[in-house]
Amino acid sequence: MNRIYNERHIPVLLKEVVDNLVWKPDGVYVDCTVGEGGHTRAIAERILETGGRVIGIDVDSEVLQIAERNLETYPNVQLFKFSYVDLPVLLNLLQVHSVDGLLVDLGVSTYQLKGEGRGFSFNQDEPLDMRMNLENELTAHHVVNTYPEDRLADIIYNYGEERFARRIARSIVNSRPINTTRELVEAIRRALPYKEIHSRKRHFATKTFQAIRIEVNKELENLAKFLSFAPDLLTPGGRLAIISFHSLEDRLVKHTFKNDPRLEPIGDFVAPSMEELAENPRSRSAKLRVAKRV
Ligand code: SAM
């Protein structure tokens, strides 16, 4: 990996995750979205002396290399390039029949956003990519340049909650070919009224970029699939902890936790404290929900 990257991902709701997830000191836990390994490390640390272990997976082979470095001193951590959608396959290969806790930290890692050349960020001018798994075929370039206008508008409206979705979709179609993140930002700019561009709290391209990223990585489909089998991987009393950053994701998690007879929600959701928000503004839309296998 030769990309320029001088940042560090700050794990969100770290103490809250570990306190709620780790209930069995010698348990087996899976961090389904290891990223740079912040949550994995804190879980591994908590159970290091008591015989517990963590299996960490991520689809991004580059971010996994960072995790490997960050976690090399933890003998109770094993890392794999795997999608959480295929977790049952991995557990089968490892002959692990059930686990005591599963963590999913949705959204995008700082490496993906700030690492050079991944095409996730409207602040850098790069080829449009946005794949978390670099082996997948679907890229942001394909979505932006080939999807019909109506489909693009629906994606931007649903996944981005962008009320100017139709205008943006039309502008994208009229601006094709769009090869770089900057060209996409300009297509979005041309669609929005002047006031919207200057009055929004976040960058005017945030919602559209988020929507395209969710589409490229099939984030909602993957989460829905995972939620359908995850309870069966847990031992009785096992915990399922999910951090979401988007109302559609949170709705899916909340609905599953409430209605799946295999699960019992533990409390309401947990949001970042004022201190965490001040230290890590990226945490502002995070919601942690935890459920227990009955
Ligand atoms: N908790 C991590 C930490 O403390 O560094 C950060 C996780 S980051 C918000 C989300 C991660 O999920 C990204 O690294 C991304 O590549 C990964 N990811 C996305 N979809 C995935 C999937 N289907 N299976 C496994 N990992 C996935």
- Tell me the per-residue pLDDT of 11-37, one tens digit each, with 9 for 90 and over: 999 999 999 999 999 999 999 999 999
Q: Does 5 have pLDDT greater than 80?
A: no
Known binder of ligand: residue 112?
Answer: yes
Known binder of ligand: residue 159?
Answer: no
Distance CA 213, CA 264 (A): 31
- Tell me the per-residue pLDDT of 88-115, one tens digit each, with 9 for 90 and over: 999 999 999 999 999 999 989 999 998 8
Please tell me if the CB atom of residue 249 comes closer than 6 angstroms to any atom of ligand 1.
no
Judge contact between 140 and 128, C-beta under 8 A: yes
Judge contact between 102 and 175, C-beta under 8 A: no
Choice from 41, 58, 138, 246 to test ligand 1 binding pocket (greatest atom count within 8 A of CB) = 58
The pLDDT value recorded for residue 1 is: 57
Judge contact between 147 and 285, C-beta under 8 A: no
Distance CA 35, CA 145 (A): 29
Residues in Cβ contact with 202 at an 8 Å cutoff, skipping those fewer than 6 apart? none
Q: Does 63 have pLDDT greater than 80?
A: yes
Of 6, 3, 28, the C-alpha closest to 239 is 28
The three-state DSSP-derived secondary structure of 110-141 is HHHHHCCCCCCCCCCCCECCCCCCCCCCCCHH
Phi and psi at residue 34, to the nearest 5° = -65, -35
The pLDDT value recorded for residue 2 is: 67
Structure tokens given for 269: 């959701």
Q: Does 86 have pLDDT greater than 90?
A: yes
Query: Cβ atoms within 10 A of the Cβ of 117, count?
Result: 13
Distance 107 CA to ligand 1 centre (A): 7
**Closest atom of ligand 1 to CA, residue 111:** 14
The two beta strands, 53-58 and 77-81, are parallel
The pLDDT value recorded for residue 69 is: 96
Query: Which three-class secondary structure state does DSSP give residue 206?
Result: helix
Distance 111 CA to ligand 1 centre (A): 10
Q: Does 288 have pLDDT greater than 90?
A: yes
**Closest atom of ligand 1 to CA, residue 83:** 24
Known binder of ligand: residue 58?
Answer: yes
ipTM, 2 decimals? 0.99
Model pTM score: 0.96
Q: Does 271 have pLDDT greater than 70?
A: yes
